[in-house]
Amino acid sequence: MTVSNRSPRPKEELDRELGELLNEVRVGLPGVTVLFAFLLTLPFAARFQRLSGAQQTAYYVAFYSAAIAMVCLVTPSAFHRIRWRRGDKEAILRASNRVVLAGFACLAVALVASVLLVSELVLPEPLPFIAAAVVGGLALALWFGLPVSRRLRGKGDTESGE
């Protein structure tokens, strides 16, 4: 059992942090939902059967990554709904934070694979790989690199962990 050296946080702080987390999820969830819906329709398009093996692989990576991202991004709401009256908000926040980060990572993978797939169908080589690399680099840098670099430099840290 892991023992935290942090003192219990006030209910108001936990409520605020949970509200912020759920609002952040509300930003990503519509995007992953639309992407997943688009990917659901592709196998029914006539052109889908003519995709190369590499293009089909890109599709499967995009499709399953989007599905996993959706599951991860919905998890905090389900977790909260099931555990909300049990005084378990600290655990909800900790677990949800990890799952949401995994969801955003899966969303980044789904975006890169989708950009690669669509770009391979409309652009000459090597532009599809450049487009996918640019989208992947931006997601990595802005979604993960920027906040991690600030954390490593100790900027924006407060006693409450904001």
In a domain, residue 6? The reply is no
In a domain, residue 2? The reply is no
Distance of CA 135 to the CA centre of its chain: 14
In a domain, residue 158? The reply is no
In a domain, residue 58? The reply is yes
Helices (H), ranges, 4-145:
11-41, 53-83, 89-122, 127-138
Q: Percentage of the chain with pLDDT > 90?
A: 52
Domain that includes residue 134, residue range: 13-43+50-152
In a domain, residue 145? The reply is yes
**Domains contained in the chain, number:** 1
In a domain, residue 8? The reply is no
Residue-wise pLDDT for 69-127, tens only, equals 999 999 988 887 887 777 778 888 888 899 999 999 999 999 999 999 999 999 999 99
Report the alpha-carbon distance of residue 33 to residue 78 in Å, rounded: 17
In a domain, residue 74? The reply is yes
Model pTM score: 0.81
In a domain, residue 64? The reply is yes
Residue-wise pLDDT for 115-146, tens only, equals 999 999 999 999 999 999 999 999 999 999 99
